[in-house]
Amino acid sequence: MPHAVGVDVGGTKMLGVLIDTDAPTEVLSAEKVPTPRGTDAVLDALTVLVSSLDSGPGVPVGLGVPGLVDRDDRFRYGPNLPDVEDVALGSVLGGRLGRRVVADNDGTCATIAEFRAGAGAGCADGVLLTIGTGIGSGIVVDGRVRHGANGFAGEPGHMVVDRNGPLCPCGRRGCWERFASGSGLGRLGRDAAVAGRLVDSVRRAGGETEAVRGEHVVSSARAGDTDAGLVLDEFAWWLAAGIANLIDLLDPSIVVLGGGVMEAADVLLDRVRSAVPPQVLGAPHRPEVEVVAAGLGERAGAIGAALLAGAGGD
Amino acid sequence: MPHAVGVDVGGTKMLGVLIDTDAPTEVLSAEKVPTPRGTDAVLDALTVLVSSLDSGPGVPVGLGVPGLVDRDDRFRYGPNLPDVEDVALGSVLGGRLGRRVVADNDGTCATIAEFRAGAGAGCADGVLLTIGTGIGSGIVVDGRVRHGANGFAGEPGHMVVDRNGPLCPCGRRGCWERFASGSGLGRLGRDAAVAGRLVDSVRRAGGETEAVRGEHVVSSARAGDTDAGLVLDEFAWWLAAGIANLIDLLDPSIVVLGGGVMEAADVLLDRVRSAVPPQVLGAPHRPEVEVVAAGLGERAGAIGAALLAGAGGD
């Protein structure tokens, strides 16, 4: 029973789990705390969180963090952890805790979990996308999660897909996650509402067009509202456009979709599945790529971080 | 001295080489013939070409072809070989010649050559782009050229980068190669000419705005023409936009640029190098990616095909 602790460090909350790495989906204990601001406060909160999750000092710890993590476990940069920059998370927290601590990108950690024990298990070539406020990702090539030259691989959220599109906080225009993330869905909804459509969703948002968010569109679509269905069609088209880009480049056999937006899988997944093949190069001449919902839910990142720590890397 | 024959099968011509795989850049003999139309005619021409290149029946043959080639050497589909479809090139030609014949995508073959013996030698994570009529490519991850689940990996030319952009023969709108290929450069030039700019290039094109091609823009830029320089700036921006997408996703240490358009490297390469970093996610927090010209010229694809045959795959 090799135990390991994993923590998914999000922009607003941190989710920690203790697992047996031989049975990673049976979480032994879990705890969620708010993410404080500033490097020292984050390290303090992680110290408390890890200590509360396990009793043995030798248990290794993995951290999944939202941003660029280099191959020396150094967190370089991430717009969703704005007050934390350029800190060797693994060795600093390892020193405090007196045990092995490793860090990696949160999308990479979720990919490790989903392709070891979730929806991608057994697939040698695949992509995981976590569709939340932004788009996280990890890529599996020839059986392994890949990190690239510096550890930064797997950030398709900032692919430009519309050069004249809306400005992105990253500085470019028309990045994929401006359209195909949870915030992208909200924006598509507000655009429709301002244009006078989407009456049902505006009502759900308290009558304010500017208050329409993705969940209002999803609720309306579930209730059978045609306008909301059209917004979801548009959203699914954007999601599929980027997925097709990834298929052209990486030729995966499976694309696993996780993240908060996939709570709407019941009204979204079939739309995405229909929108992908027409956009893939030479689609009639190649097998269709499976597009499936993630299997481990919101704990995928934390479980993957624990697997990373327990296995000595992937 | 293990010999191997490689043939780069292009849409208009086929270039064959005989090499010693221990010294692949010293081509022992080479021959170029037109590409005929139709599967049988192509196989006939390949039979003659290969026989004229070597005297020994045991010498293995590699083919680089423009399109989707599956892991069983079957050519599935390629818009630049419109009359050839769904043929097991390796085994059919191998049966005719009585020797081992393997086939792979032409961009993949060029990547094998450039990362074994050209500009990417020694790099474990990189991308090769051949900028010609379209964009060919291959990707190197953790030291190996990668093929994906079916053998189709490495087709970034059809990434959508401008959803409202011009129609592509592939059926999508705004594919990267509509902007960042040789034909893309010609289109940017004609757009500028029609708008009344680019007088020098129009003169070089015989006074017809619609006759402006990429080489006229390049010649004008070399002569110091400001308008042509601005078109090259725009072209370099598009090329860099897609390169930045690839860097975000794959985190290579090097991007190697080959293909006919790189004959204009003297006026193009520095422009591309300047345009890449501002478009890469978190650029101030990561090493700059090297962008270099290919080292093996137009023979890269044929040399790589020969290496593939000689080495028993990559």
Residues of A in contact with B287 (CB under 8 A): 149-150
Q: How far is A10 from chain B (nearest CA, A)?
A: 18
Taking CA atoms, what residue in B is nearest to A241? Answer: B160
pLDDT in tens, B192-228: 999 999 999 999 999 999 999 999 999 999 999 999 9
- pLDDT band at B55; cut points 50, 70, 90: low
Picking from B263, B257, B264, B265, the residue whose alpha carbon sits closest to that of residue B294 is B257
Residue in the structure block whose two tokens are 């043995």: A56
What ipTM score was computed for the predicted complex, to two decimals? Answer: 0.94
- pLDDT score for A314: 44
- Which of A159, A162, A170 faces B245 most closely, judged by CB atoms? A159
List beta partners, residue B137: B129
User: A51: distance to nearest CA of chain B, Å?
Assistant: 31
Closest CA to B6 of B312, B298, B311, B309: B309
Q: Token pair for residue B161?
A: 């980068």
State phi, psi for B219 to the nearest 5 degrees: -60, -45
Q: Which residue of A has its CA nearest to B162?
A: A162
CB atoms within 10 A of CB B48: 12
Do the chains contact at A124 and B149, CB–CB below 8 Å? yes
Could A163 and B159 be called an inter-chain contact, meaning their C-beta atoms sit closer than 8 Å?
Answer: no
Distance CA A32, CA A30 (A): 7
Rounded to an integer, the average pLDDT of B105-113 is: 96
* Per-residue pLDDT in tens (0 to 9) along chain A, 314 residues: 799 999 999 988 999 999 999 999 999 999 999 999 999 999 999 999 999 997 677 899 999 999 899 988 899 988 778 788 789 999 999 999 999 999 999 999 999 999 999 999 999 999 999 999 889 999 999 999 999 999 999 999 999 999 999 999 888 999 999 999 999 999 999 999 999 999 999 999 999 999 999 999 999 999 999 999 999 999 999 999 999 999 999 999 999 999 999 999 999 999 999 999 999 999 999 999 999 999 999 999 999 999 999 975 44
Contact B253 A150 (CB under 8 A): yes
Average pLDDT over residues B14-25: 95
Question: Residue A169 CB: number of other CB atoms within 10 A?
Answer: 12
> At residue B231, what is the residue type?
V
pLDDT digits (tens, 9 = 90+) for B263-307: 999 999 999 999 999 999 999 999 999 999 999 999 999 999 999
Total-model pTM? 0.95
Enumerate the residues of chain A whose CB falls inside 8 A of the CB of residue B158: 245, 248, 281
Tokens of A191: 């655009």
Report the gap between the CA of B184 and the closest CA in chain A (Å). Answer: 15
Cβ–Cβ below 8 Å for B248 and A172: no
B256-293 per-residue burial string, b: 16 or more CB within 10 A, e: under 16: bbbbebbebeebbbebbbebbbebbbbbebbeebebbb
User: Average pLDDT over chain B, rounded to whole?
Assistant: 94
Report the alpha-carbon angle A288-A293-A299, nearest 5.
145
Contacts of A170 in chain B (CB under 8 A): 281-282
Cβ within 8 Å, pair B144-A149: no
* Token couple for A211: 């208050």
